């Protein structure tokens, strides 16, 4: 459904990605792991259109979308939960969700009701300013906001960032219910154990290159370790 | 010459030696020019030099310092009026009264900075404009200096300006032409002095800090520069110099009115145009810009508002399609 | 009762300034663009209304209604083709572009409409007044004030009650994340400037009916608008 072909990206003179090839199949859950600064966020930003690339570097359902702006990419059914949540402080919780649903695609799998059913606490706090919520609740808003566009592919950038373990568990509990709708999910995660537990396949990035790829079932922790830190084990 | 500078470090030093000698040669030529140049050429050069100085000063505060003032006419106007006040009310020689212009502009710049520095980013621009307007309105109430209609320098004051008699004898000129030569030399001195000072500032540690200040205040603070003080310093110095230039311009025209002396078109729009055309944030930008501007002015200024309309559109086009100006 | 009279007249005068300021703040609030040509755009709109009045013989209020969509389109295009290209981290390019526009507009209008003073005539309404018991107020100032209140109320409703307003606020908070929501910040900006031009048309209508205008008065209107913005900002800080 989604492929990248020799995807490169740079910030000014600085090159962050050196030819990344990944694929995501419909309904699949793919984990992307790597140390700080490996280029995970840059990869998601390239896919989602925040960073522009050459057309053929990102291909969605056979169409090159590398040069599409972010708003056109969402309309194709690729939504992103950005790193650091990036809620709109001027908007209430409910308005943050509604703005995610501004582009509604196809059947209404996700509505305010279903998002509130997924994260009941948000219904209670629906009129609060989004940034008045706790970190975990804010993360729920960010996920709900992305779901509101009914994506076929959901990109999640470090949804556990800065959260306590119990809160992380709550957030991850939503993942199976998101996948039930048939959406494919790409998660960027620092916690290797969790990534291997929830995903079907894994890519490990190091310094802008893919150093390991394979099904999580057959990936050993030692292999990940080597790919992660680059020691030639 | 510009290309030579970009090649390597060694040629750059050689190129700058060449540039330095060329500059010195030009200054020398400029000094002796009145011996053989026509009066109208001297007047044109006076115009070019004063506009160049104003442009360099605006480039310093806006291009390097990031303080986009559209109220520079306040300093030109107050400087010019202070010079007139010195001559008419105190009986000073106009040349010395020019110094009053610098002082007055400096004094006006203090409350202006105090107010405008409080305004965020772009509102700074309107803030400076507001103060210039208010200053114009106040000056227009000053009846002894002609109120809203303005006044002229008294004949007895212009008759014996210091040095004019000597110049007249030296070049065998009439008094009016000799006055132009004097004004021209003063303009040359101000232009050279301003550019030398800006060049020195940019090469010093403060120059780097100024760049950091424009790009990001926090970065400036982290390199250990008191951003606030540097901003004040640059703004006040540029204001005082602008006041001197304003006083000099009106010593040469010898006739003043609030609308002309505080004209946003003449003293800010033209100046910004010069800098934008030549390339903002570069020392050589205004030099190129003023020549282009002078050419346009000579060729087309008879077209009045069509001409100004075109200038406005050219400035927009440059910002849209050639951000660095024609010099880039 | 002089003080009451002064207060009321002052308040009513504030209506016109508030109209001048509303468009300026709308654009600034959404895209942090200070439009130095704002005053000249007001004058331009006044001329457009005048032209419509003279061409159709309609009453000025109806003429403004006709002019508004055209000026919306003009604002939209101005943003889309010019301002959007210079918005960014550096505040210098947008300032210089709007300053260049100010000069170009003033002189363009001078060529087209001449330097003569103009006025939008509304007949008897110009001098009509009502006696409110304690004070007598002109109908024109009263209408201006009522329109200003209506404009600000409507803007508020748009901002807090509509999807467009949500998009305005989100884009103002963070254009990049807004684009991840399927919003094109550039077209949001264009709509905002179009809307600002509609408000400018209303301001221009009252400016033109209440006083003489000519191509040179734009910068002074900008300054009034700016003062109103500052007073508004101060009032808001005071209220906190
Ligand atoms: N806006 C930017 N400007 C310049 N360089 C950047 C920018 N964003 C990221 N980088 C650089 O690009 C590289 C990859 O960054 P990226 O954010 O993609 O890493 P990451 O894998 O997401 O790291 P983390 O785990 O810390 O989120 C890093 O070296 C980073 O310093
Ligand atoms: Mg990251």
Q: What is the CATH number of the domain that holds A36?
A: 3.40.50.300
Q: Which residues pair with A155 in a beta bridge?
A: A80, A186
Q: Is the pLDDT of residue A25 over 90?
A: yes
pLDDT digits (tens, 9 = 90+) for C104-143: 999 999 999 999 999 998 888 888 888 888 788 888 888 9
Q: Is the pLDDT of residue B217 over 70?
A: no
Q: What is the pLDDT of residue B326?
A: 67
Pull the structure tokens for residue B263: 């004209």
Q: Is the pLDDT of residue B76 over 60?
A: yes
Of C73, C107, C32, C114, the closest CA to residue B314 belongs to: C107
Mean pLDDT of C93-99: 88
Q: Is residue C161 part of a domain?
A: yes
Strands B255-256 and A58-60 turn out to be unpaired
Q: Which residues pair with A188 in a beta bridge?
A: A32, A157
Q: Is residue C86 part of a domain?
A: yes
Answer yes or no: do A80 and C180 touch at CB < 8 A. yes
Give the number of other CB atoms < 10 A from CB of residue C233.
14
Q: Which domain holds residue C57?
A: 19-227
Among A10, A17, A40, residue to substitute to test ligand 1 (most atoms within 8 Å of Cβ): A40
3-state class (DSSP) for residue B128: helix
Of B211, B137, B167, B234, the closest CA to residue B33 belongs to: B167
The answer to whether the CB of A7 falls within 8 A of the CB of A57 is: yes
The answer to whether the CB of B271 falls within 8 A of the CB of B54 is: yes
Q: Which of residues 158-177 of C touch B (CB under 8 A)?
A: none
Q: How far is CA C177 from CA A87, A96, C159, in A?
A: 8, 11, 19
Q: What is the pLDDT of residue B256?
A: 93
Among A9, A41, A159, A208, residue to substitute to test ligand 1 (most atoms within 8 Å of Cβ): A41
pLDDT digits (tens, 9 = 90+) for B20-68: 888 888 888 888 888 788 889 999 999 999 999 999 999 999 988 888 8
Backbone angles phi, psi at C87, to 5 degrees: -70, 140
Q: Give A178-211 as a DSSP string.
A: HHHTT-EEEEE-S-HHHHHHH-SEEEEEETTEEE
Q: Is residue C6 part of a domain?
A: no
Strands A29-34 and A201-206 turn out to be parallel
Minimum CA–CA partner of B317 in chain C = C97
Please indicate whether residue B176 or residue B10 has the higher confidence score (pLDDT): B176
Q: Is residue B278 part of a domain?
A: no
Q: Which domain holds residue B102?
A: 25-264
The answer to whether the CB of C144 falls within 8 A of the CB of C16 is: yes
pLDDT band at A233 (very low <50, low <70, confident <90, very high): very low
Q: What is the pLDDT of residue C200?
A: 96
Strands (E), B165-232: none
Q: Is residue C27 part of a domain?
A: yes
Q: Is residue A116 part of a domain?
A: no
Q: Is C95 on the interface with B (CB under 8 A)?
A: yes
Query: In the Cβ-directed half-sphere of C155, how many Cα atoms lie within 13 Å?
Result: 24
Q: Is C232 on the interface with B (CB under 8 A)?
A: no
Number of domains in chain C: 1
B–C interface: beta-carbon pairs under 8 A:
104
Mean pLDDT of C24-50: 92
Please give the model's pTM, rounded to 2 decimal places.
Answer: 0.85
Number of domains in chain A: 1
Q: Is residue A102 part of a domain?
A: no
If you ran DSSP here, which 8-state letter would residue B100 be given?
Answer: H
Length of chain A in residues, anyone? 233
Helix (H) / strand (E) containing A32: strand A29-34
Q: Is the pLDDT of residue B219 over 80?
A: no
Order of strands across the sheet that contains A153-157: A78-81, A153-157, A184-188, A29-34, A201-206, A209-215
Q: Is residue C3 part of a domain?
A: no
Helix (H) / strand (E) containing B62: none
Provide, as residue numbers in chain A, all residues whose Cβ is less than 8 Å from the Cβ of C173. Answer: 88-91
Q: Where are the alpha helices (DSSP H) in C125-212?
A: 139-161, 163-173, 175-180, 185-210
Cα–Cα distance between C59 and A175 in angstroms, integer? 63
3-state class (DSSP) for residue B148: coil
Of A74, A174, A184, the closest CA to residue A115 belongs to: A174
How far is A170 from chain C, CA to nearest CA, in Å?
A: 25
Q: Is residue C211 part of a domain?
A: yes
Distance between terminal CA atoms of chain C?
Answer: 32
Answer yes or no: do A88 and C176 touch at CB < 8 A. no
Provide, as residue numbers in chain B, all residues whose Cβ is less than 8 Å from the Cβ of C94. Answer: 122
Number of domains in chain B: 1
Length of chain C in residues, anyone? 240
Q: Is residue A113 part of a domain?
A: no
Q: Is residue B65 part of a domain?
A: yes
Within 6 A (CB) of ligand 1 lie: A 11, 14, 16, 34, 36-42, 83
Q: Is the pLDDT of residue A228 over 60?
A: yes
Q: Which domain holds residue A220?
A: 2-90+152-229
Q: Is residue A48 part of a domain?
A: yes
CA C193 to chain centre: 10
ipTM: 0.91
Q: Is residue C11 part of a domain?
A: no
Query: In the Cβ-directed half-sphere of A124, how many Cα atoms lie within 13 Å?
Result: 7
- Ion ligand 2, residues whose Cβ is below 5 A away: A 41, 83
pLDDT digits (tens, 9 = 90+) for B243-295: 999 999 999 999 999 999 999 888 998 999 899 889 888 888 999 999 999 99
């Amino acid at each position: 459904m989604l492929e990248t072909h020799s995807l490169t990206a740079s910030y000014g003179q600085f090159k962050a990605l050196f030819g990344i090839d990944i694929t995501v199949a419909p309904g699949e859950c793919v984990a992307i792991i790597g140390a700080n600064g490996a280029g995970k966020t840059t990869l998601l930003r390239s896919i989602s259109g925040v960073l522009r690339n050459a057309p053929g570097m990102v291909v969605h359902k056979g169409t090159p979308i590398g040069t599409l702006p972010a708003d056109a990419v969402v309309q194709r059914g690729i939504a992103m939960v950005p790193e650091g949540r990036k809620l709109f402080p001027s908007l209430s919780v409910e308005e943050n969700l509604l703005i995610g649903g501004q582009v509604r695609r196809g059947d209404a799998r996700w509505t305010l009701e279903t998002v509130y059913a997924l994260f009941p606490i948000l219904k209670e706090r629906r009129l609060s300013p989004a940034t008045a919520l706790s970190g975990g609740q804010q993360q729920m808003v960010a996920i709900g906001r992305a779901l509101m566009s009914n994506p076929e592919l959901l990109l999640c950038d470090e949804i556990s960032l800065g959260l306590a373990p119990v809160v992380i568990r709550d957030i991850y509990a939503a993942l199976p219910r998101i996948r039930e709708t048939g959406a494919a999910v790409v998660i960027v995660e620092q916690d290797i154990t969790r990534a291997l537990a929830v995903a079907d396949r894994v890519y490990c990035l190091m310094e802008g290159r893919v150093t390991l790829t394979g099904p999580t079932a057959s990936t050993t922790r030692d292999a990940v370790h080597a790919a992660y830190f680059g020691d030639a084990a | 010459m510009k290309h030579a500078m970009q090649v390597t470090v060694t040629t750059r030093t050689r190129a700058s030696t060449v540039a330095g000698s060329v500059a010195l040669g030009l200054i020398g030529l400029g000094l002796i020019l009145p011996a053989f140049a026509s009066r109208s050429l001297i007047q044109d050069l006076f115009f070019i030099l004063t506009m160049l100085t104003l442009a360099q000063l605006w480039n310093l505060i806006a291009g390097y310092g990031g303080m986009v003032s559209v109220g520079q006419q306040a300093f030109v106007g107050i400087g010019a009026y202070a010079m007139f006040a010195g001559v008419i009310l105190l009986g000073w020689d106009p040349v010395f009264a020019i110094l009053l212009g610098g002082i007055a502009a400096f004094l006006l710049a203090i409350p202006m900075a105090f107010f405008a520095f409080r305004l965020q980013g772009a509102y700074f621009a309107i803030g400076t404009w507001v103060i210039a307007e208010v200053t114009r309105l106040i000056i227009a109430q000053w009846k002894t200096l002609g109120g809203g209609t303005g006044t002229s320098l008294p004949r007895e004051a212009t008759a014996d300006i210091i040095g004019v008699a000597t110049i007249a004898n030296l070049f065998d000129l009439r008094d009016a032409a000799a006055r132009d030569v004097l004004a021209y030399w003063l303009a040359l001195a101000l232009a050279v002095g301003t550019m030398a000072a800006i060049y020195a500032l940019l090469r010093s540690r403060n120059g780097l800090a100024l760049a950091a200040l424009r790009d990001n205040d926090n970065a400036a603070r982290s390199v250990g520069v008191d951003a606030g003080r540097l901003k004040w310093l640059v703004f006040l110095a540029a204001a005082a110099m602008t006041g001197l230039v304003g006083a000099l311009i009106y010593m040469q025209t010898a006739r003043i009115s609030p609308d002309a002396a505080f004209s946003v078109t003449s003293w800010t729009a033209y100046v910004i145009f010069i800098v934008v055309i030549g390339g903002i944030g570069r020392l050589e930008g205004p030099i190129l810009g003023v020549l282009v501007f002078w050419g346009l002015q000579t060729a087309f200024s008879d077209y009045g508002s069509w001409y100004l309309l075109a200038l406005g559109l050219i400035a927009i086009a440059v910002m849209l399609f050639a951000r660095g100006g024609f010099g880039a | 009762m002089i003080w009451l009279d002064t207060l009321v007249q002052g308040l009513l005068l504030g209506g016109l300034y508030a109209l001048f300021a509303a468009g300026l703040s709308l654009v600034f609030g959404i895209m942090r663009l200070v439009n130095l040509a704002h005053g000249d755009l007001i004058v331009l709109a006044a001329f457009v209304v005048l032209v419509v009045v003279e061409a159709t013989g309609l009453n000025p209020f109806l003429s403004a209604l006709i002019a508004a969509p055209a000026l919306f389109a003009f604002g939209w295009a101005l943003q889309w083709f010019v301002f959007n290209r210079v918005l960014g981290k550096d505040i210098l390019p947008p300032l210089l572009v709007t300053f260049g526009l100010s000069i170009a507009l003033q002189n363009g209008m001078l060529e087209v409409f001449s330097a003569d003073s103009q006025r939008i005539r509304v007949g008897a309404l110009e001098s009509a007044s009502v006696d409110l018991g304690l004070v007598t107020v002109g109908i024109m100032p009263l209408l201006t004030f009522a329109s200003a209140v209506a404009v600000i109320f409507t803007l508020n409703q748009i901002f807090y009650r509509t999807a467009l307003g949500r998009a305005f606020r989100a884009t103002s908070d963070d254009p990049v994340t807004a684009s991840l929501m399927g919003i094109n910040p550039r077209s949001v900006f264009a709509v905002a400037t179009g809307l600002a031009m509609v408000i400018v048309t209303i301001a221009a209508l009252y400016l033109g009916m209440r006083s003489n205008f000519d191509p040179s008065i734009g910068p002074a209107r900008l300054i009034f608008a700016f003062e109103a913005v500052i007073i508004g900002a101060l009032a808001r800080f005071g209220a906190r």
